[in-house]
Structure 1
Amino acid sequence: MTNKMAEYDFRTLSPPDFELLVQDLLQVELGIRLEGFKSGPDGGVDLRYSKAFDNDIVVQCKRYIGNQYRTLKLNLEKKELPKVLKLNPKRYVVATSVPLTIGQKDELVSLLRPYCKKRSDILGAEDLNRILRENPKVERSHFKLWLTSTEVLQRLLKHGIFTRSMIELEEIRRRISIFVPTESVKRASKTLDENGVCLLSGIPGVGKTTTAEILVAQLVEQGWECVVVSSDIEEAFEAFREKEKQVFIYDDFLGQTDLNPRLGKNEDQRLLQMMGVCKRKPKLKRLILTTREHVLDQGLREHEKLKRANLNPSQCVVALEDLTESTRAKILCNHLFFFGVNQKTRKKLVESGAARRVIDHANYSPRVTETMCELYVDERITPAAFGRRFIQLLDNPGDIWREPFENQIGGDARVILKLFALHESDQRLSDLSLCFSDYQIAAGCDLGQLDRRFKRAIGELENMFIRLAEQRAFTYVKFHNPAVKDFLKQVLTEEPQFLQAVAQRVSVYSVVLSAYEILIRTASFKPEPSEVRFAIERTLNTPELRFFEVSEGCFPWTVSPPQRLNDWIRVLSTLNASAITDEVMLIVDRCLTEWDNPVKDVSMLANKFYEWATKKKSSVTQPIEPLVDRLLNHCNCLEDLRYVSELTSSADRSKTLHKKVEQKFYDQSIAWVNDEIESSELAEHADDVINEYEITASVLGVDEAPLTEERSRVSEMYEEVEDAEDSAEPLSGLDTEKSEADDILDSLRY
């Protein structure tokens, strides 16, 4: 819960937000119901209490940043006092975010007498904070207020909730301030409460990550511990405490593109186990996942277990359809206000009709709005040009980056950007430098000059296209804005010659694979078989680390050689050239002979290899029996057996090898089950292990009877943890006042 002694300066509330807060506070303070009015010229009335048609009580709300008493007094004297004289209210109340001394209050009462009758008719920041402390329900209902207090933000940062893309408290405050709750937030909250698991999916830039962060932040304030999973669901199990309220957030859990799904070995099974725990105990454990819609589709194709799990009850799509006209208008207003777009520019945007065209535009999204506001701050766009540039950006989102990309940076900088865009994740600066060197050296460039050229190009790109961050004694690269990468993906589809050069020169696996993927999708691509073989061999074992920012720094991870080959087969499978097929099969054949581990990766690769060979009507040279024997020797869990079983089912029609798999099951399965149960820290995991045994027995077609005794023993070993009696406090304060979009836009003029 929030700190009852918190002192707010109200800077994270827009003027309409501040007015709503004052309305709620004065209604409980005075015990009356106050009328509110739409945004726009108020004639001196922000809030009003009237028994008939008289102005019994008129309230004026003045929101400023910091101690601006002189500005407040001047505004009341020159602008508001003439309106008060005309209104002639029985009582006039001023509520302001400015801190006030006793002398300052007396001065304002004297200025506004007889309408302000006593000192209590002037409410400064300290008075509003007092009423908030006395009325915690009001405080809770205005989540932007308490969520952006320094104490709360520091607690959220300690949990690592916002550290993926934000570092400073002021940046986080602005991010929360511009957030406008949508129907997707309500759906996600309900899904999480009822199901314990919420999978947020949607197109890039629609607000999935921010929605997840807001939900988690509110749970943290209700006493939940947050665990941020950065690279593998195993991090959640390591942090798992059975009787504590914990919410786990796993952003982009399948990666940011559909080229290289992020889930590592056995992670799909472990992820399903964690989902099972959260579904059974939503009062104690909750899991929030986010992913892009097209990446989810690819992930379900790549991970059979996820596909079979039926994620529909947990899925909540964050859709553009949730952005109603009024919501779009509020998002626009918040961005303009908190990014510091001046009143003259805001007024011009409305009066020219550009504001209405913006929120009605088919390409409208919060990301585009943020990009435009950032450009306003960076480039100091004139009021007349702002609306035109905004519409141009929406018409062609990439154009805002095309001009600086083509005319404001040099050739080396453009090459670096395109290489970085082909990479899966954030990248170490040193690794990007090596990638650049690969590309340029193969083109005949002087090695001695490359380091200087690279540093100069990075200087051109920094703060315009990329950001550099220091963590754990190294520097890594991030895109300054996600829209930059979206733009560069479009650029890459227009440059097949560059992609072909990358495919021939660079040794970074994900970059070369991404180049092939785009070429195959967008061009009439007919590579030489020897080029394909060389590209695969060049990238199969090269070191490559990918980095995802977490609270402790950057977490590195890599992709195993079998998984790389598996990805290569998937990407190349649409090519029909028999010569390429033969080249790839020779590499696969040799690798399967040389590799011993891991069982899952090799089995999946071998299975795809045999399926591919059958589809291409090619002869298979790899003897299956030695491979199966070697894999069985390395099996150490039930899942390994299932993968080998799938391999033997597709490649061994005589079923002789399948019997070896069955025998391994009879010899080892009970021991494996006992080891898993005894080493488990989760009570629920025992049932999961037994269920896995039954699934494996069913897949292999063997008798489940030997486990009957084990099930009885397990039930005695574990006592089910009782569900917590106290239910989680429901999300509050997310409902927004419904008003017409035109009224909201009209407020930009004042």
Structure 2
Amino acid sequence: MDSFELGRLTDHDFEEVCRDLFTELLGVPLEIFPRGRDRGIDLRHAPEGGPCTIVQCKHWYRSGRAKLLAHLTDVEVRKVAALKPDRYVLATTVELTVDAKEKLRTTFAPHIRSTEDIHGVDDIVAALRERPQLVERHFRLWLSGTAALGALLHKGPLLRSDWLRRELAKVAQTFVPHEGFERARRLLDEQHVCIVTGIPGAGKTTVARMLAAWRMGHGWEVHEISQDVDEVTELWRDGVPQLFLYDDFLGQTTLLPQFGKNEDVRLLSVMRAIRDAPDKALVMTTRRYLLEEARRKHDRLASDDVRDALTGIRLTDLDLLTRGRILYNHVHRSALRPLQKRQFAARDAWLPVVSHRNFSPRLIEETLRVDLKREPDVATAMVANLDNPRRIWERIVENELTEEAVQLLEIVFTYGSVGLVELEETWTWYRRESEREADGRRFRHALQVLDGTMLVIDEGVVSFHNPSIADYIRFHLNAGRGQLGALLASCGDMQQVVRLVDAGRLADGGGIITQLMQLKEELASAVLGAEDTVDDNLEDHLEWALDTAETIGSSSLADYVAERARELPRWSENTKDLLRLADSLEGSRLITQEVSAEFRALVDDHVSSQISERVAGGWIDVNNWYAYLDEPIGWLADGTLLDDMVECALEELRELAADPGDLSEASIGFLEALLGFLTDNDAHLLHEEEFRAVERIREQLTRAREAAWRSLARSLAERSPDRGRPVKLPPNPRHEQVVVVSEFMSDLGNAESDGPG
């Protein structure tokens, strides 16, 4: 049976839980009051002319029974006598014995009617066990349950990644649910697919991980996708509830011309499959500007499938009360010394933070993690970091780190993530190109300085501690503080070159582009030198190289593209990419008309050959090939080739009319394509009876699919883990929120112990 660790709640969390719980237990609505000068009233029901009921909430789980009883009998009893309520109810997170309850009943008589109005922690936990829907309305309460905590803290079949398990448990300690999270959770329940977007540091990854924790607490497996969407199909298990977490699916600071061979097509296919599967869910995150750029480059990402799955984390989701809770949780759980924690109890310390226009949960976390040993006044340092978000890393990178360590960060930036052996090899090459000393001792020292602060090493793979560090290194390179020529010369992998160039293409990357324009030959040499590391999609690589040549005005790079392009159509199977590359060559000012015309002729021959092969294989091959091209069937075919396609379609029509076999709802698109092609080419009347027969089959399957969708919608509504909508306070004016935040921040003034609270 599930239990709850109520000590994980803040005081205000506990009061909100009590409001909803005692509204049910007492059968009357309760209003909640800001803590502080509340005259001893936390919750109250006081109808005009009716009896007054007061519920007092004492979250004294650390203090113990003796201190609580002393406070109640010495202080609270006088407040209650002055208030004279008709009924006084006590709720506390302290264990209360029978004798303790009887003593309190006697002390507070006649306002406490019986010991049933005194609820210790065991009574509250028992009442919550009987109300799972109420528990799920309070995310942090649900998260304190043994089922959720067990899933997060203990290795098991639901989550096999120890690293992700540690991250989920860490995030759960400080997470504060907000409207952006609730919006994402509702979308995931409705669509099964959710793409969380937002500006850097807004909390996209935190929301995604808490969605994963939510599902895992309800018995779902959670799988992290680290490379590309094909991992989903490899991990897919029918009949097993699974959530796939694909963080930063478009990258952190760069956008490749195509984020994997045909991955846009495969991503949409997986999204549609998950949307139709009641026991599967997909959560992805990306920065909003990267998604917009991706949608411009990949038409499919502008489809309804993507738009319907989008939700954003906006700064307006974090009102002052939510910001206060975020700050409180991070300070409360941090490794700050007691004196540093107590600083935040003062209003002039926390109010400038939670009111700041640049408020960011990530900056709060990083300031507490990085500055706690450097700054005696952490609150002031936090405001300074919010004033200048680069400050937290700029001071370290430009003033405190050795050159060896900075160049190590620059190398990691070109990779994103990289193995230790490859990192050391590239760093050594970079040092030598910079005419600096390089040896294993220097490398190990630089890595040791960065490990745990700016870099993470997990199973031999090195990456940035969080995206804000990569953002700063991009700014550092953009400002000309690195040696870009030597860095290019050290790149042995094409993806390194691509990340550097694409960092310059971002809105604030003009400095990198300016440097590359002075390093045209070095860039061309880097591309040639890393050519053997290009994956099997050479068409995409050449299109990227041509775009880069246009951006920096490199004729050498354009010549490289022209030379390699001539070889492609003889062996390539990527017809769609060949067609796109032909369009790019024709539109380039650096490619001669002769070269582009020659390439177009080669591609046309290749396309005709592909169509002939598909026609020979039958209508299914034709349909699948054009579906891959995402073009109407018959495009690029004319004359006898088109006549052959019509005959192929008619043959399929006759066979289906005679024996439709075991067609299912999945065949609707196939039938629509067949009938549409025959109609477009005026061939539907050649076999009118057969055409009508197949049209009837399509209509029957369409009706069956619509019925199945309606049934699925009903099933999803019944199985949704969050059928209840969260109960919220009415919107508070700013000054009321300040009062609430002041009270729970004042708890930090009692900080007595080092380490996490």
Q: What is the TM-score normalised by the length of structure 1?
A: 0.79
Q: Distance in 2 between matches of 1:695 and 1:179?
A: 52
Distance verdict in 2 for CA 1:77–1:348, change over 3 Å: farther
Paired letter, 1:450:
D
Any conservation in 1 of the 2:370–2:453 contact (CA below 8 Å)?
no
Tell me the SS of whatever aligns to 2:546. Answer: helix
Any conservation in 2 of the 1:143–1:733 contact (CA below 8 Å)?
no
Tell me the SS of whatever aligns to 2:439. Answer: helix
* Identity among equivalent pairs (%): 26
CA shift for structure 1 position 393: 0.6
Distance verdict in 2 for CA 1:672–1:455, change over 3 Å: farther
Q: Distance in 2 between matches of 1:577 and 1:701?
A: 46
- Please give the residue correspondences for 1:66-77 in structure 2 after superposition, counting only pairs within 5 Å: 68-73=64-69, 75-76=71-72
Any conservation in 1 of the 2:158–2:221 contact (CA below 8 Å)?
no
Matched, 1:609 2:585: yes
Distance verdict in 2 for CA 1:194–1:125, change over 3 Å: closer
Pick the aligned partner of 1:416 from 408, 418, 433: 408
Q: Distance in 2 between matches of 1:316 and 1:477?
A: 31
Matched, 1:516 2:508: no
Matched, 1:268 2:264: yes
CA shift for structure 1 position 513: 2.0
RMSD: 4.7
Paired letter, 2:10:
S
CA shift for structure 1 position 290: 3.0
Q: Distance in 1 between matches of 2:683 and 2:200?
A: 48
1:379 aligns to what? 373
- Please give the residue correspondences for 1:298-313 in structure 2 after superposition, counting only pairs within 5 Å: 298-307=293-302, 309=304, 311-313=306-308
Tell me the SS of whatever aligns to 2:456. Answer: strand
- Please give the residue correspondences for 1:512-551 in structure 2 after superposition, counting only pairs within 5 Å: 512-519=497-504, 521-523=509-511, 524=514, 525-527=516-518, 530-542=521-533
Tell me the SS of whatever aligns to 1:200. Answer: strand
Any conservation in 2 of the 1:428–1:476 contact (CA below 8 Å)?
yes
1:483-542 deviation per Cα after TM superposition (whole angstroms, max 9, x unaligned): 222222211211265222211222122222222334574233434654333211222222
Q: Distance in 1 between matches of 2:547 and 2:61?
A: 56
Q: Distance in 2 between matches of 1:641 and 1:256?
A: 33
Structure 1 window deviating more from structure 2 (385-394 vs 202-211): it is 202-211
CA shift for structure 1 position 129: 1.0
2:24 aligns to what? 28
2:439 aligns to what? 450
1:553 aligns to what? none
- Please give the residue correspondences for 1:116-155 in structure 2 after superposition, counting only pairs within 5 Å: 119-155=115-151
Q: Distance in 1 between matches of 2:198 and 2:678?
A: 38
Matched, 1:392 2:413: no
Pick the aligned partner of 1:495 from 459, 480, 492: 480
Q: Distance in 1 between matches of 2:402 and 2:411?
A: 15
1:732 aligns to what? 724
Tell me the SS of whatever aligns to 1:353. Answer: helix
Pick the aligned partner of 1:438 from 417, 424, 429: 429
Tell me the SS of whatever aligns to 1:265. Answer: coil
Any conservation in 2 of the 1:46–1:60 contact (CA below 8 Å)?
yes
Q: Distance in 1 between matches of 2:536 and 2:164?
A: 27
Q: Distance in 2 between matches of 1:702 and 1:256?
A: 50
1:551 aligns to what? none
- Please give the residue correspondences for 1:581-660 in structure 2 after superposition, counting only pairs within 5 Å: 581-590=558-567, 592=568, 595-612=571-588, 619-620=595-596, 623-626=599-602, 629=605, 632=609
Q: Distance in 2 between matches of 1:604 and 1:243?
A: 40
Any conservation in 2 of the 1:225–1:245 contact (CA below 8 Å)?
yes
Any conservation in 2 of the 1:91–1:115 contact (CA below 8 Å)?
yes
Tell me the SS of whatever aligns to 1:413. Answer: helix
Q: Distance in 1 between matches of 2:630 and 2:646?
A: 14
1:742 aligns to what? 738
Structure 1 window deviating more from structure 2 (105-114 vs 329-338): it is 105-114
Q: Distance in 2 between matches of 1:696 and 1:392?
A: 65
Q: Distance in 2 between matches of 1:164 and 1:90?
A: 54
Distance verdict in 2 for CA 1:63–1:432, change over 3 Å: farther
Q: Distance in 1 between matches of 2:181 and 2:375?
A: 34
Q: Distance in 1 between matches of 2:470 and 2:541?
A: 23
Paired letter, 2:419:
R
1:444-466 deviation per Cα after TM superposition (whole angstroms, max 9, x unaligned): 556xx533322221110011111
Any conservation in 2 of the 1:499–1:515 contact (CA below 8 Å)?
no
Any conservation in 1 of the 2:56–2:91 contact (CA below 8 Å)?
yes
CA shift for structure 1 position 742: 1.4
1:402 aligns to what? 394
Any conservation in 2 of the 1:613–1:619 contact (CA below 8 Å)?
no
Q: Distance in 1 between matches of 2:678 and 2:184?
A: 37
Any conservation in 2 of the 1:178–1:335 contact (CA below 8 Å)?
yes
Any conservation in 2 of the 1:60–1:93 contact (CA below 8 Å)?
yes
Structure 1 window deviating more from structure 2 (483-492 vs 340-349): it is 340-349
Distance verdict in 2 for CA 1:615–1:602, change over 3 Å: closer
Q: Distance in 2 between matches of 1:444 and 1:138?
A: 65
2:468 aligns to what? 483
Q: Distance in 1 between matches of 2:273 and 2:300?
A: 16
Tell me the SS of whatever aligns to 2:739. Answer: helix
Distance verdict in 2 for CA 1:343–1:22, change over 3 Å: farther
Distance verdict in 2 for CA 1:218–1:467, change over 3 Å: closer
Any conservation in 2 of the 1:204–1:292 contact (CA below 8 Å)?
yes
Any conservation in 1 of the 2:40–2:76 contact (CA below 8 Å)?
yes
CA shift for structure 1 position 337: 3.6
1:167 aligns to what? 165
Pick the aligned partner of 2:291 from 279, 293, 296: 296
Distance verdict in 2 for CA 1:439–1:622, change over 3 Å: farther
Pick the aligned partner of 2:326 from 331, 334, 337: 331
Structure 1 window deviating more from structure 2 (267-276 vs 78-87): it is 78-87
1:278-328 deviation per Cα after TM superposition (whole angstroms, max 9, x unaligned): 66x586766544322111112112212333557444433322233334433
Q: Distance in 2 between matches of 1:306 and 1:701?
A: 31
**Can you give the 5+ residue segments of structure 2 that lack an aligned partner in the other structure?**
615-620, 656-661, 748-757
Paired letter, 1:272:
L
Q: Distance in 2 between matches of 1:438 and 1:397?
A: 32
Distance verdict in 2 for CA 1:272–1:515, change over 3 Å: closer
Q: Distance in 1 between matches of 2:225 and 2:526?
A: 33
Q: Distance in 2 between matches of 1:702 and 1:257?
A: 51
Distance verdict in 2 for CA 1:697–1:194, change over 3 Å: farther
Tell me the SS of whatever aligns to 1:379. Answer: coil
Matched, 1:428 2:425: no
Q: Distance in 2 between matches of 1:339 and 1:486?
A: 24
Tell me the SS of whatever aligns to 1:574. Answer: helix
Q: Distance in 1 between matches of 2:652 and 2:247?
A: 32
Distance verdict in 2 for CA 1:460–1:174, change over 3 Å: closer
Structure 1 window deviating more from structure 2 (520-529 vs 11-20): it is 520-529
1:554 aligns to what? none
- Please give the residue correspondences for 1:61-210 in structure 2 after superposition, counting only pairs within 5 Å: 61-64=57-60, 68-73=64-69, 75-76=71-72, 80=76, 83=79, 92-102=88-98, 105=101, 119-155=115-151, 166-168=164-166, 172-173=168-169, 175-176=171-172, 178-189=174-185, 191-192=187-188, 197-210=193-206
Q: What is the TM-score normalised by the length of structure 2?
A: 0.78
- Please give the residue correspondences for 1:1-12 in structure 2 after superposition, counting only pairs within 5 Å: 5-12=1-8
Any conservation in 2 of the 1:200–1:315 contact (CA below 8 Å)?
yes
Q: Distance in 1 between matches of 2:500 and 2:157?
A: 37
1:568 aligns to what? 545
CA shift for structure 1 position 31: 3.3
CA shift for structure 1 position 403: 1.9
Q: Distance in 2 between matches of 1:625 and 1:606?
A: 9
Distance verdict in 2 for CA 1:451–1:463, change over 3 Å: same
Paired letter, 1:167:
R
Matched, 1:316 2:311: yes
The count of residues paired between Structure 1 and Structure 2 equals 708
